[in-house]
Structure 1
Amino acid sequence: MGNDYLLNEIQKLKDQLVRAVDEHHSLTNERVVQISQELDIYVLQFQKNVWARMNERGTLQ
């Protein structure tokens, strides 16, 4: 997955998460947790992509 796609999905999920928290007034609501977990997957993939790119460029020590 490309970073542009990931960033777009991350933003959409962040917006959904904010709306879900506002709607349910809870951080432990099933839907809130589900969105948060999905967001975690995309953020982790984005971080892996950035890490891999840095490694390819030799910018990691």
Structure 2
Amino acid sequence: MAYIKRQGDKRSLYNNQITIIRNNAFNGLANIKTIDLESNNISTIEANAFNGLTKLERL
């Protein structure tokens, strides 16, 4: 289970050993503007991983 730090319209998944981001991984977070995925070992991002994040400005 990943540790998610919440700060308003930002989510930090920093250093969570994430390797795959699955389709609709952020379902229900349509108002998120920033997602921090720094210091993960991501090797796969599925095609619709960020589906619905219409306000996303920074990844």
> Which has the larger Rg?
1
Normalising by structure 2, report the TM-score.
0.23
Query: Whose strand fraction is larger, Structure 1's or Structure 2's?
Result: 2
Length-normalised TM-score, structure 1: 0.23
